[in-house]
Amino acid sequence: MFNAIPKILVTRKMPDVVNKKLMSNFTVSLNESDKLFTEVELQRALKEADGILCSVTERFTKKILNTTDRKTKIIANFGVGLDHIDLKSAKSKSIVVTNTPGVLTDATADLAIYLILAATRKAYLSEKKLRDGEWTGFSAVEDLGVSLKGKTLGIIGMGRIGKATARRANMALGMKVIYFNRSYIGSIDFPARPAQSIGHVMRESDIVSIHLPGDKGNHGLINEEQISLMKDNSFFINTSRGEVVDQKALIEALSTRKIAGGGLDVFENEPNIPQSLIDLDNVTLLPHIGSATKEVRDEMGLLAVENLISYFGKKDCPSRVV
């Protein structure tokens, strides 16, 4: 297939089906220990590998991409978000960057709905009571959550995942939908009302769900001012990127009950989670598992490999970004 067999370095453990496809097409260096790469190790990888299959945990900064004697021609990302790769630097150095859009849309939208349900039904508190042996039996007045039918879900970022989440909320849960998106998104196959600003969504929604890319232009976009606009009985959900939210302001709103609760799958500066957030009993926390189903992770990896095969086979990559 290739004039010379390219060497591919894989930065994290991958599903078996992905490794098999890699090894049937390339010379492959796997990270069997799954240990995170240091800056020095990433720089060495750029010097030794023709292509790199990476994940969100590897930060390809301008400094790292400026590595001298670089051999790497393509970085195939396992995931959609590319905020960990300096795309401007990659482009200036003619490094191709690909991602894996589409395949994780449904899984992430499902998790957003789970977090909405968990937050509004106080799942964490109720389960903790049961596991701690504090449940004394049925009560008509304890552990009361909030019904979702007729409530307003506000979507910030109406891309693939935002739309899929909104569609589920409307069609399965009977929720009204309001959304803000910077660009025109065309027709939608379910009832949804566009808003003129993020603030409009924050003020009107009973649940706010964030679906923004984590690029630098969005860092801290959901700030203290925006959060202060939320209703006192509202809930905040984030399955996109932790960096798009002022985490300190969110913790303050949750801890003071300025908002009723939340559900988070992503955090600023992962995997370091502030103890002040962990200690809260009105928020459900998950360790960035939006795409974590076997089927989806297999598909993500196979698409990343297909991008590599296409590039070295001198064909168009299925999901090239740079």
Residue 254, domain member (yes or no): yes
**Whether residue 109 sits in one domain with residue 94:** no
Is 270 a catalytic site residue? yes
Cα angle 143, 245, 254 (rounded to 5 degrees) comes to 30
Catalytic residue among 41, 48, 252, 270: 270
pLDDT tens-place string over residues 189-230: 999 999 999 999 999 999 999 999 998 899 999 999 999 999
* Average pLDDT in the chain: 97
- Active-site option among 12, 219, 288, 320: 288
Mean pLDDT of 44-50: 98
Q: What is the pLDDT of residues 165-183, one digit of tens each?
A: 999 999 999 999 999 999 9
Q: How far apart are CA 108 and CA 26, in angstroms?
A: 31
Check whether 55 has a pLDDT greater than 70: yes
Query: Do 24 and 124 sit in the same domain of this protein?
Result: no
Helices (H), the chain: 16-23, 39-48, 62-65, 87-92, 105-120, 123-131, 160-173, 198-204, 224-228, 247-255, 275-278, 294-312
At residue 2 the predicted structure's pLDDT band, cuts being 50, 70 and 90, is confident
Question: How much is the average pLDDT of 265-293?
Answer: 97
- 133 and 268: one domain? yes
- The active-site residue, picked from 241, 268, 297, 299, is 241
Classify residue 243: in a domain, yes or no.
yes
Q: Are residues 85 and 109 in the same domain?
A: no
- 226 and 279 in a single domain? The answer is yes
Per residue, the 3-state secondary structure of 38-93, as one string, reads CHHHHHHHHHHCCEEEECCCCCECHHHHCCCCCCCCEEEECCCCCCCECHHHHHHC
Task: Classify residue 279: in a domain, yes or no.
Answer: yes
For residues 240 and 276, membership in a common domain is answered with yes
What is the Cα–Cα distance from 89 to 69, expressed in whole angstroms?
Answer: 16
In terms of domains, do 190 and 201 share one? yes
Are residues 311 and 74 in contact, defined by beta-carbon separation less than 8 angstroms?
yes
Measured in whole angstroms, how far is the alpha carbon of residue 275 from the centre of its chain? 22
91 plus 110 within the same structural domain = no
Q: Domain check: are 268 and 151 in the same one? A: yes
Q: How far apart are CA 268 and CA 176, in angstroms?
A: 30
- Whether residues 220 and 301 share a domain: the answer is no
Q: Are 22 and 305 in contact (CB under 8 A)?
A: yes
What total of structural domains would you count in the chain? 2
210 within a domain of the structure (yes/no): yes
- pTM comes to 0.95
Query: Same domain, yes or no, for 176 and 259?
Result: yes
**Is residue 1 assigned to a domain?**
no
Pairwise CA distance, residues 322 & 316, whole Å: 12
Reading phi first (left if > 0) and then psi (alpha if -120 to 50, else beta), residue 79 is in left
Asked whether the beta carbons of 229 and 203 are under 8 A apart, the reply is yes
Cβ atoms of 82 and 54 within 8 Å: the answer is no
The domain that contains 201 carries what CATH number?
3.40.50.720
* Structural domain of 25: 7-103+294-312
pLDDT one-digit tens code per residue, 100-159: 999 999 999 999 999 999 999 999 999 999 999 999 999 999 999 999 999 999 999 999
Tokens for 72? 């790497």
Does residue 319 sit within a domain? no
Q: Is residue 164 part of a domain?
A: yes
Residues 273-297, mean pLDDT to the nearest whole number? 98
Is 131 noted as a catalytic residue in this protein?
no
Q: Which of 116, 229, 104 is nearest to 159 (CA)?
A: 104
pLDDT at 3: 77
Confidence tier at 186 by pLDDT (50, 70, 90): confident
Q: Is residue 21 part of a domain?
A: yes
Q: What is the pLDDT of residue 1?
A: 64
Residues 260 and 308 in one domain: no
